[in-house]
Amino acid sequence: MSSSPLVTPDAREPVPQAVRADRRPYLRWLLPMFTFVCGCLVGVGLTATLFQDRMFWMMKHPGPHPERVIEKLKQDLDLAPEQLPAVEKIVHEHDARMRQLHPLFDQNNRRFEAEISAVLNEGQREKWQARIKQMHSMFPPPPGSSGQP
């Protein structure tokens, strides 16, 4: 006999051959899964990049002004008029204390940089100074501090 479709003697109509079973069912899920994984990777990469960019921006533009903090607290907490003077006083005192700490941090960082530099040889010191310069450009000292640029 030939490989043509089988013919029944009664009906003389062709009987379809059995449909071949899919030997690789995972292939129909491979493309959607690959697309999903790529989308996740792109999403994570963009989120990390935006987060890092936002963090660098925040470090270059430190802390909100006390007036902005007060306004935000007033809106978010729905402060009563009698609470507002106390909150304003607390926020301004906190701001003053933080501004007093900046010179201490600057002094500590300069000491750290000098101590590391004293241990290094000339080639290492040049690399160290370049690294310090790069870090100072990425994270400049806050306004009103005596830190080196």
139 touches 59 (CB < 8 A):
yes
Please give the pLDDT value at position 149: 44
Structural domain count of the chain = 1
What are the pLDDT digits (tens) for 40-75?
999 999 999 999 888 777 766 666 678 888 888 888
Interatomic CA distance for residues 91 and 76, integer angstroms: 15
- Residue 72 phi, psi dihedral angles, 5° rounding: -65, -45
What are the pLDDT digits (tens) for 98-112?
888 878 888 888 899
Please give the pLDDT value at position 14: 59
Question: pLDDT exceeding 90 applies to what percent of the chain?
Answer: 23
Residue 2 lies in a domain: no
Burial class (CB in 10 A: 0-12, 13-18, 19+), 109: middle
What's the longest Cα–Cα distance across the chain?
103
Question: Can you give the residue range of the structural domain that contains 93?
Answer: 66-149
Crossing angle of the two packed helices 84-119 and 122-138, in degrees rounded to 10:
160
